[in-house]
Amino acid sequence: VQLVESGGGLVQAGGSLRLSCATSGGDFRLYAMGWFRQGPGKEREFVAVISWTGTRTDYVDSVKGRFTISRDNAKNSVYLHMTNLKSEDTAVYYCNVGAWDTVLAGQFDSWGQGTQVTVSS
């Protein structure tokens, strides 16, 4: 599977960004898709997951009410709309695809290059 994340950038605290992730190398319409992030000096952590139907989502507590995950199965893509960004959201953001529990656990052997999000306070 190939994963290409985009949409990151530098934004002021309180601002918004929309991340995109395009997948290729397979048909992932029946799999959950998720977002992860790795901040400076931190381990990679789970951020959000969406079911293959798009009807079920889950988020890490720190982003609930601020981030929204969505997907477009026709484009094999997943998105992360981030609002009210905080300095602690600064990280490299990654996407991945797999079974629901696998996404929650972040148990993947390969990752894309990620997209950098920097929030200035």
pLDDT of residue 29: 81
Mean pLDDT of the chain, nearest integer: 96
pLDDT of residue 26: 83
pLDDT (mean) for 26-33:
88
The answer to whether 50 touches 69, Cβ cutoff 8 Å, is yes
Is residue 27 over pLDDT 90? Answer: no
Of 2, 106, 8, 14, nearest to 58 by C-alpha is 106
Q: In terms of pLDDT, which residue wins out, 115 or 24? A: 115
The answer to whether 37 touches 85, Cβ cutoff 8 Å, is no
pLDDT (mean) for 36-55:
97
Of 64, 83, 77, 99, nearest to 23 by C-alpha is 77
pLDDT (mean) for 86-103:
97
pLDDT of residue 3: 96
pLDDT of residue 74: 92
Is residue 98 over pLDDT 90? Answer: yes
How far CA 12 is from CA of 37, 65, 82, 104, 119, in Å, comes to 18, 18, 12, 29, 5
pLDDT (mean) for 8-32:
94
Of 113, 83, 82, 81, nearest to 96 by C-alpha is 113
